[in-house]
Amino acid sequence: MKAHDFVTVLASHVLTARVAWLAGLAGLVAGCALLNPPPLKRVVGLQLYSVRAQLDKDVPGTLAEARSWGVKYVELAGTYGLSPAAFLAKLNAAGLEAYSGHFSFDEWSKDPEAVLKQAADLGLVYVGCAWIPHKEPFDEAACRNAIAVFNRAGDLAARRHMRFFYHTHGYEFQPFGNATLFDLLVQQTNPETVKLEMDIFWIAHAGRDPVKLLAEYPGRWELMHLKDMRKGTPTGLLTGNSDVRNDVALGTGTLDLPAILRAASHAGVKWYFIEDESPDSEQQIPQSLAYLDTLRQ
């Protein structure tokens, strides 16, 4: 072989080996990404209950402030004295889109058709209930009544191309046989028409692990409230009540948010809403949004 040909062949082998090495490296990086994906891959909205005090005083100004934080999607908990059409106009003017909304158990129980009319006027896709009225402690009778109300609501919502959900508050984990009343509620509601919204604060407040609960009922959880819990907050309580000052900016409390968000993705959660009930929510919400940006990387 001539020297020139030898050099050409050698260079070709070196180039081939380098390409193979780079391809292998790219595969390794991709594999690592699959094994350890970014915790948060979906859009995050805001539950407007977080700024309820501000909305009571100034709807247009408060909605504009939410938009200034980078919020695009919101979940509703009332329309603050306005008709659905008037509130929708305010949302549109602020550049916000309502995707989900909470309505009272009493409304769902007495006139679900009226609830769904309001929801349609607001352009909602998800319609839910966040509290089951009950005497302490939550009992089987209250649970079974809720099951009947929720199954009916879910069926009616589905006919209108909406999705009904129940938002957890922690009191549902009262023991029941070898399980809890929460298990009864989930197992006796139609999995196709009754979905769940996990409020991670209230799950932890009840002494439960959000990661494990997400894995226990995959496909049922479609929405999630993102909160963090102040260090030292009592847990293991089945009350659904806590000092609102125990809500702190995401990433500053006790909850393992990266692990929860990864588990939520695997469980099928589609929508996330920050809910901050504290009196410092206006300061904390931008901090929470900034923290979530770090989990997209």
**How does pLDDT run across 98-140, given as a tens digit for each residue?**
999 999 999 999 999 999 999 999 999 999 999 999 999 999 9
User: Considering the chain, what is the average pLDDT of its residues?
Assistant: 90
Burial degree of 280 (CB within 10 A; 0-12, 13-18, 19+): middle
User: With 0-12 CB in 10 A as exposed, 13-18 as middle and 19+ as buried, what is 212?
Assistant: exposed
Task: Output the CATH code of domain 39-294.
Answer: 3.20.20.150
CB-based contacts of 45: which residues, under 8 Å, 6+ apart? 71, 72, 73, 74, 75, 99, 100, 271, 272, 273, 274
Q: Please tell me the pTM assigned to this model.
A: 0.87
For residue 13 the two structure tokens come to: 């082998």
Q: What does the pLDDT look like over 234-261, one tens digit per residue? A: 999 999 999 999 999 999 999 999 999 9
Tens of pLDDT, residue by residue over 147-187, are: 999 999 999 999 999 999 999 999 999 999 999 999 999 99
Q: How far apart are CA 30 and CA 40, in angstroms?
A: 17
What the block records as the tokens of 75 is 């979940």
Report the 3 state secondary structure along 231-284.
CCCCCCCCCCCCCHHHEECCCCCCCCHHHHHHHHHHHCCCEEEECCCCCCHHHH
> Do 218 and 263 meet the contact criterion of CB atoms below 8 Å apart?
no
For residue 180, the cross-strand partners are 175
**274 touches 285 (CB < 8 A):** yes
Which pLDDT value is given to residue 40?
74
How much is the pLDDT for 43?
83
- Report domain extents, the chain: 1-36, 39-294
- Are 119 and 162 in contact by the 8 Å Cβ rule? The answer is yes
**Each residue of 41-75: pLDDT tens digit?**
788 999 999 999 999 999 999 999 999 999 999 99
